[in-house]
């Protein structure tokens, strides 16, 4: 059988805080309050003054963006950035034999599709020497190195020659990537530069977004534009059709379809297939024939619904959390 392909939803990160253990500030010992949010958490994080019964979380985000109010999506991005910065380093500690460490070690040759904005998968696979930012996102990405590599020609050449054996495709965008759509061209006039639009945007790596955890890679600071976090991702709104039209996401879906067509097994962890997001997952599953295993506490319910929607796919389900499944994941293939 070909290697499985994984699709990750918000539920994949649900066990990360518990698995990381207590996180405290250096020297002071006070606990740091951070976690990866699930959909139900977003009411309190992003819309603390709204009643849960009044509108769905997708409608609230949609209304805020239509009102030109970026604060809710900014709060979501900040929450994820803090979780990456504080939780992932503890999970990466080899002394902490957590379910994520075990999972990525076991499936380090696999590729991953994700609807999440965080960088947890990349950081594990970078540590395992299976993923690199210049090609591991499924598109060419401009990167730079920190000073220790920049000043060592042999090490720089060694890193530039590396190629990812695992891909991580962020179908709704990543907080560590942004597009660059123009260049500034010097002219013969003093202090004057000409703006030249690119035929196609370049994509820029910005690991400083999450505390520079991607060493030896550094952020590219030479670009004239740098999109804020809320502009790098497709917000969790009811209809993502418009968002799916941008070049980055179109390329992600095209690459995702290529990966799907080269596997017979898609393992979906912690994704709820919300009807609000059908435009997102339908683009992947429509006309695909293969086998899907859903791992989620409500997996049986999802299997019953999706079997009717996509009868060409062979569906299986395992109603459990990612952490519980990780104890016997090697036995299902």
With a pLDDT cut of 70, the percent of the chain lying above it is: 92
Q: Give the pairing of strands 144-145 and 217-218.
A: antiparallel
Question: CA separation (Å) from 19 to 91, 98, 181, 205, 304?
Answer: 7, 6, 40, 28, 31
Number of domains in the chain: 1
Checking if the pLDDT of 107 tops 70, the result is: yes
In the predicted model, what is the mean pLDDT of residues 83-109? 91
Give the model confidence (pLDDT) of 213-247 as tens digits: 898 998 887 666 678 888 889 888 887 777 777 88
Confidence (pLDDT) at 53: 62
β strands within the chain, DSSP E: 5-8, 111-114, 144-145, 168-170, 177-186, 193-205, 217-218, 265-269, 291-296, 314-319
Q: Over 60: is that where the pLDDT of 43 sits?
A: yes
The pLDDT tens digits for 56-65 are 888 899 999 9
DSSP string covering 300-327: HHHHHHHHHH-TTSEEEEEES-HHHHHT
Quick one: pLDDT at residue 176?
93
Pairwise CA distance, residues 200 & 182, whole Å: 9
User: Any idea which residue has 């995702």 for tokens?
Assistant: 256
Band of residue 152 on the pLDDT scale cut at 50, 70, 90: confident
- What pTM was computed for the model? 0.91
Contacts of 190 (CB under 8 A, 6+ apart): none
Mean pLDDT across the chain, nearest whole number?
88
Residue 165 Cα distances to 2, 13, 115, 135, angstroms:
15, 23, 21, 10
Report the distance separating Cα 244 and Cα 191, nearest Å: 38
pLDDT at 264 over 60: yes
Summarize pLDDT for 301-315 with one digit per residue, the tens: 999 999 999 999 999
Average pLDDT of the residues in 94-111: 90
Domain of residue 188 covers 5-331
pLDDT at 129 over 80: yes
In whole angstroms, give the CA distance from residue 51 to residue 55: 8
CB 253 within 8 A of CB 284: yes
Lowest mean pLDDT among 47-51, 52-56, 74-78: 52-56
**Separation CA 26–CA 43 (nearest Å):** 31
pLDDT at res. 332: 55
Greatest CA span in the chain, whole angstroms?
A: 68
Least confident of 45-49, 175-179, 189-193: 189-193
The pLDDT score that the predictor gives to residue 103 is 94
What local confidence, expressed as pLDDT, does residue 283 receive? 87
pLDDT bucket at 180, cuts 50 / 70 / 90: confident
């Amino acid at each position: 059988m070909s290697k499985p392909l994984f699709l990750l939803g918000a539920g994949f990160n649900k066990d990360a805080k518990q698995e990381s253990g207590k996180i405290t500030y250096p020297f002071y010992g006070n606990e740091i309050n951070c976690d990866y949010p699930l959909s139900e958490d977003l009411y309190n994080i992003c819309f603390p003054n709204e009643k849960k019964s009044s509108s769905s979380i997708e409608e609230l985000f949609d209304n805020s963006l239509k009102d030109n109010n970026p604060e809710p999506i900014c709060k979501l991005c900040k929450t994820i950035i803090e979780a990456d910065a504080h939780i992932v380093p503890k999970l990466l500690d080899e002394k902490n034999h957590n379910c994520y460490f075990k999972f990525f070690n076991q499936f380090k040759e696999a590729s991953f599709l994700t609807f999440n904005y965080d960088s947890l998968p990349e950081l594990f696979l970078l540590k395992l020497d299976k993923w690199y930012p210049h090609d591991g996102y499924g598109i060419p990405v401009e990167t730079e190195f920190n000073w220790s590599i920049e000043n060592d020609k042999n090490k720089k050449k060694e890193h530039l020659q590396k190629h990812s054996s695992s891909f991580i495709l962020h179908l709704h965008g990543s907080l560590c990537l942004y597009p660059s759509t123009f260049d500034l061209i010097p002219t013969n006039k003093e202090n004057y530069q000409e703006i030249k639009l690119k035929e196609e945007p370049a994509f820029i790596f910005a690991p400083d977004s999450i505390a520079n955890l991607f060493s030896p890679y550094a952020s590219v600071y030479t670009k004239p534009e740098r999109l804020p976090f809320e502009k790098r991702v497709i917000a969790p709104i009811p209809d993502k059709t418009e968002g799916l039209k941008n070049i980055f996401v179109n390329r992600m879906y095209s690459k995702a379809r290529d990966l799907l067509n080269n596997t017979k097994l898609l393992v979906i962890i912690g994704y709820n297939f919300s009807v609000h997001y059908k435009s997102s997952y339908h683009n992947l599953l429509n006309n695909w024939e293969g086998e899907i295993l859903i791992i989620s506490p409500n997996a049986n319910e999802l299997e019953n619904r999706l079997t009717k929607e996509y009868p060409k796919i062979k569906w299986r389900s395992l109603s459990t959390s990612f952490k519980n499944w990780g104890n016997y994941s090697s036995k299902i293939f």
